[in-house]
Amino acid sequence: MYSFLLQIIPFKDVDLHKLYLFLDLLLRKTKLGPGGGGIKLTDEVQLKYYKIEQTFNGDASVHEGDTLPGGGGGEAGRKEEEEEELSVIIERINKRFGVNLTQADWIVTEQLGEDFAGDEELVQKAKNNPIADFRYAFEHSFLDKVVRRMDQNEAFCTRILDDEDFRAVVVDYMLMKTYKRLRESVG
């Protein structure tokens, strides 16, 4: 029921949400259901960290004539976030982590974006919550989506290597796509 309510109303009690996330994971890990059964928690439940941080101290009352940051949820007063070019983002990541990523490596984020867009439960949470509240649901499912995407990409590449008919179809597709792209870039 709580999961359903999260989709239609923004939550205010962060502690309640943390408790829900913990108990949801605990129930899935213990596999409790009708008929009971023993509980074996050995190496099955690992509490993730939560950081409690005070972000404001003072009077939060609103007075007539005050303008609120971000407006009232409508389009008025909303500032469009500036989008950085992908090359700038990749360059910053490469410097910070000492890696040599390219735009081709970054395609995984596009794939993950499609995975998130296809998750109807997450879509509803995004539509019905401010980003600060949505962050909890997003982070909760992020690693799961990354692992699934990695498995799907590995399965796709393995199929190319193992199935000659499948490989022939992919080769034909990539041949035409690559040929056209390279011919256009020649000049």
Enter the pTM of the model.
Answer: 0.50
pLDDT of residue 114: 92
DSSP string, 9-43: S----HHHHHHHHHHHHHHHHHT-BTTB-----TT
- Contact by Cβ (8 Å): 27, 34: no
Q: For tokens 């101290």, what's the residue?
A: 57
Amino acid type, 69: P
Cα 181 to Cα 69, 75, 186: the distances in Å are 46, 40, 9
Percent of the chain with pLDDT over 90: 27
Strand partners, 36: 33
Q: Which pLDDT band, with edges at 50, 70 and 90, does 113 fall under?
A: very high
Higher-confidence residue of 122 and 48: namely 122
3-class secondary-structure state, position 158: helix
pLDDT of residue 74: 46
Please write the tens of the pLDDT for every residue from 127-167: 998 998 899 989 989 999 999 999 999 999 999 999 999 99
Q: For tokens 């439940």, what's the residue?
A: 45
Residue 82, by phi and psi: left (phi above 0), alpha (psi -120 to 50) or beta?
Answer: beta
Least confident window among 32-46, 114-128, 148-162: 32-46
Q: Where are the domains of the chain?
A: 1-31+102-187
**Quick one: how far is CA 49 from the chain centroid?**
18
- Contact by Cβ (8 Å): 118, 107: no
Q: Which pLDDT band, with edges at 50, 70 and 90, does 67 fall under?
A: low
- Helix axes 131-162 and 14-30, enclosed angle (nearest 10): 30
> pLDDT at residue 18 above 50?
yes
- Contact by Cβ (8 Å): 119, 141: yes
Q: Considering only CA atoms, which of 98, 3, 18 is closest in space to residue 50?
A: 18
What's the mean pLDDT in 49-70? 66
Higher-confidence residue of 169 and 50: namely 169
